[in-house]
Amino acid sequence: MAPRLVRRVWTVWRWVCLVWVLTVFFPSPGLAGEGFSFVVMGDTRGEPFLAGGRAQAEELRRVLGERFRARFHLVFDPVTGELRRVEVAAHRGKEPATVVYRQGWPVMILRGRGSGARVVMRRAGRDWVMARVAAALQRAVRRGRGPVLVVHTGDLIIWGKQGHTLDTSPFWQALEERLLLRLPPVGAGFPLPGRFFPAVGNHETWGDRELKGLLTTLPYLRRLGFSPRRRIYSFRYRGCRFMFLDSGGYRQGRMGWWSEDPPFAAQMAQLRRWLEQAVAEGSRRVFIVYHKPSFCQAGHGALPPGHNPHPYIRPFARRLSITVLNGHVHTTEAYRVEGVRYLVLGGGGAPQVFSTHPRPGHPPELYWRGRPRVEEYNYAVIRVREQGEPEIRIHRWRPGEVSRPLGVVAWPFAPAAR
Of 73-82, 225-234, 383-392, the poorest mean pLDDT is in 383-392
In the chain, how many domains are there?
Answer: 2
Clarify whether residues 321 and 363 are in a common domain.
Answer: yes
Clarify whether residues 322 and 379 are in a common domain.
Answer: yes
Buried/exposed 136-172: b ≥16 CB within 10 Å, e otherwise: bbeebbeebbbbbbbbbbbbbbbbbebbbbbeebbbb
Residues in the chain: 418
- Domain of 83 in residue numbering reads as 54-103
Clarify whether residues 90 and 162 are in a common domain.
Answer: no
CA–CA distance, 112 with 160 (Å, rounded to integer) = 28
Q: How confident is the model at residue 2 (pLDDT cuts 50, 70, 90)?
A: low
Q: Are 24 and 53 in contact (CB under 8 A)?
A: no
Clarify whether residues 258 and 343 are in a common domain.
Answer: yes
Clarify whether residues 261 and 324 are in a common domain.
Answer: yes
pLDDT value at residue 125: 98
Kindly report the pTM of this predicted structure.
0.91
Percent of the chain with pLDDT over 90: 82
Would you say residue 112 lies in a domain? no
Would you say residue 313 lies in a domain? yes
Clarify whether residues 152 and 133 are in a common domain.
Answer: yes
CATH number of the domain encompassing residue 200 = 3.60.21.10
Mean pLDDT confidence for 159-181? 98
CA–CA distance, 86 with 93 (Å, rounded to integer) = 19
Would you say residue 17 lies in a domain? no
Order of strands across the sheet with 240-244? 233-237, 240-244, 285-289, 321-326, 340-344, 333-337
Clarify whether residues 89 and 159 are in a common domain.
Answer: no
Contacts made by residues 69-72, CB under 8 angstroms, sequence distance 24+: none
pLDDT at 24 over 60: no
Of 4-18, 314-328, 374-388, the poorest mean pLDDT is in 4-18
Q: How confident is the model at residue 358 (pLDDT cuts 50, 70, 90)?
A: confident
